[in-house]
Structure 1
Amino acid sequence: MKKILLHFAVLTAVFLSLQWSCEKDDDETIIETKSKLFEHNYVLVNTLDGSTAQVEVSYSVYSNLSGGNIVKIQTLSTPFVIGGEQVMVKYDSLYTSYGKNMQHLHRKLQKNYNEKGADHLVIKNLSGSALQYAVVSHLPVKYFSRSEVNSNPEIGNKNEVDISKILKDYSLPIYKGTPVLYLFKPELAPQTDVYVYWERIIGNSAYDYTVFVKKFPLKTPNFGELSLSAPMSIDEVINLYKEEFARGNLLFTNYNGYHAYSLGATDRSLKPNYEKQIVKWYGIISAGATLENNGQLWFVNTKDGDIGRTVFSNDRM
């Protein structure tokens, strides 16, 4: 009887071991490298003293002829703007396989700062004057879908709102109720009134509240709280950044931060939130120096690139 029990125990252990081994072999991570076209953010460059300087810039752009990225090299006179072109970005799409079942895990950008890499950018100051630069994101406007709006808290002023125009994604930073991008490139604005979730009114509990939505015009000549007879100059836009990183409370990373500032918060602008970050919105290039992007410039308009994000749970990169 003892021998029978012993044999049964051994056979059971072997069976379980084989079953675990098979399950382990079937459970594997699959990586597929894919590519997608994005656009460059804008980089504005000028001298600190306002003099004219020669600058060599080198960065990657997508070529229809080659079907891939090529390196664009130019010698430009300040002030100037680069960016806005398409660039091919590579990323890894990760899946877990459970036998015949596939589960998508996430997507991860392949950051590439080498020539022809999507993040490649070199700025050579050929002059004897110091340069200053500012980064303006070029994110396409996206609105919340009707189902997303319906799943969010109830809108208290719904009759005053076009719910098809509530902003979800937009270019950064925000200045006086408008993305800075439209101050010097108004032709890129949606040319309509948009709405943002603005104020939350608490009811009987923290889980019982309504939200109020605020309207902002983003159409020529009215942008946020500004009315412009002409686009801002490159120098005027860069000076906004210069003032922000000197004193703060001028440029904001989203409308929530801008709203918080209107209520008295003093820690929601770029200066307090990015002073210790790798990614820089504004910087100086000394006379004769070269700036090579190795992560400090958000040059490709991927989602949340301003905080260095590279992993995404869906297609919203």
Structure 2
Amino acid sequence: MLGDCQFTVNGLSLAARQWGRVGATPVLAIHGWLDNAASFYPLAEHLRDLHLVAVDCAGHGLSGRRSADAGYNIWQDVGELFAVMDQLGWQRCHLLGHSRGAAIASLMAGTFPDRIERLLLIDGMVPAAFDPRSAHKQLAKAITEHQRYRHSQPSMFASYEAAVAARANGFLAVELGAAALLAERGVSECEQGFYWHNDQRLKAASELKLSSDNLAGFLGAITAPTLLIEAQQGVLAGRERERQLFNDLKHLRSEVLPGGHHLHLEQQAPQVAAVLQQFIAESPL
């Protein structure tokens, strides 16, 4: 294991954890919304032959927060993560993304397709398609929510264990052990107690979102062989519009595995890792 590392992109500090060895097959791992790089700790135990780098995206985990005048639009992460690749000296790499991280990875693969070797997605595809006729409502919602969350305080808990339990039982619930892993990079202590220190502004709506045509453009540009691991009890049910766009990818393989949305962080991690290893090891198309 190589341990923790840090990158600075446009003045923003991005924390990361890396495993394996420098010079091995490079994989950049991107976590989901309000998670952090610890999301990939269980997988890393089974992917030792790679150079795996998992980044805390801006506002998450141990990474810095954006300035007061900035938001957390998904395309900002795209540019920042390419900058991380540059600092690692990676001209090309594999992308591994979960949930929101899968959406970021898909946009990255369509933005600079020549830099992505393979695209590995866990219970996530692309952002939900947006009706551009609702853009005025979306902007109004974003302005209102940014004002609210800019001054809001996180929930406080009497103990570290209570903070972990709250995450385990919260939105997109996870096993208690999985929540404890996320807490390693996600929970801080102050005079009032313990709290999850993600930037509250991550909960605010984006000013604008991508339409079906926008998404089709990104997906149509992807050349990397793509693996979609879908959880049987995951969150992709009902995403038929995005699924249809995704099914048009030139080189797509889908696998359905037992488990919930965070299957890679829970007891199914060895099974997920085995599928990933097999796909990465295959000969180029």
Q: Same fold (TM over 0.5)?
A: no
Scaled to the shorter chain, the TM-score interval is: under 0.3
Structure 1 or 2, whichever has the larger Rg, is 1
TM-score (norm 2): 0.24
TM-score (norm 1): 0.22
**Which is richer in strand?**
1
